[in-house]
Amino acid sequence: MISRLLRAGGLRYILAFADQGLNALLSLGVTLWLIRRGTAEQLGTYVFWANTVLVIGTFITAFTSVHIYRLPPAAGRYGTERAILSANLGMALVAALLTALVVPLLGHPLGLYAAAVFVPGIVIGLHARAVATARGAMGGAAIISAVPFVAVLGVVVVEAALHLPPSVPLLLLINGLSQGIAGIAIILRLCGPNAADFGPGARRRWRVLARRSGWSLVAGMANEVFTRLYIFMVFAWFGAAALATLTAAQTMLRPATLLAGAFGSAARGPLA
């Protein structure tokens, strides 16, 4: 039965569930750890940055990663793929610099310079996951989720063993670094050492991609408004403690999101 499932393409779905499952477990594990040993302020701060990076990721993805799924499965796609990667890396760098500039203005408790590493690392990881999914390399996508899961789990285990309080800056730093490094490694594995192109031809492709990204940007940001705006409103009006309380209640709803994301990730390639 297992062999028939694997021959029928079931492995794709198993790896997709592993990818989404590890992502969900990472988020759930950090949330529970902060609920158990941290303060409401720490949990609210972590949730703020975790959702901020997803909004930034959606914005950058609308200009870059989303176009990967439209490329034909032929050798001619690789030039555009390299241009898309270079655009993604450039925008990730800009996001890191802007985050570093904004952090001092946010003050306590949001002013964490670790976020300047967390943001580009997650953005690169999201793009690498898109590349792996578009190429049908669901194992690569699962690895990108597994590496930060293991790294952050190691931090949590050490903190628990030494009876240390949770460190939100350390959790952000390790998560961003590990996901960024894993993402770059998978991209190099799938695309080779010349995976990015910053030449004149690539810059011309950037302009074309920007012109074709209007509806993707509208759709992506509209989705973010509907799904995440309340997080920033709660934080702004009621503070980190209120956001932490809301997050703790929402934790019970994550399995449904996991199932939907896993099926969508695995089916995106065959249905394209």
Confidence of residue 265 (pLDDT cuts 50, 70, 90): low
Q: By the 8 A CB rule, do 43 and 244 touch?
A: yes
Confidence of residue 263 (pLDDT cuts 50, 70, 90): low
- CA-wise closest residue to 15 among 216, 249, 186: 186
Confidence of residue 73 (pLDDT cuts 50, 70, 90): low
Instruction: Give pLDDT, residue 266.
Output: 57
Confidence of residue 267 (pLDDT cuts 50, 70, 90): low
Confidence of residue 1 (pLDDT cuts 50, 70, 90): very low
Burial of 239 (0-12, 13-18, 19+ CB in 10 A): middle
On the question of pLDDT at 197 being above 60, the answer is yes
Spans of all domains in the chain: 45-267
Instruction: Give pLDDT, residue 253.
Output: 64
Instruction: Give pLDDT, residue 232.
Output: 86
Give the integer Cα–Cα distance in Å for 11 and 17: 10
pLDDT tens by residue, 110-123:
889 999 999 999 99
pLDDT tens by residue, 140-159:
888 999 999 999 999 999 99
Q: By the 8 A CB rule, do 191 and 89 touch?
A: no
On the question of pLDDT at 80 being above 90, the answer is no
Instruction: Give pLDDT, residue 121.
Output: 96
Give the integer Cα–Cα distance in Å for 117 and 100: 9
Helix (H), strand (E) counts: the chain:
11, 0
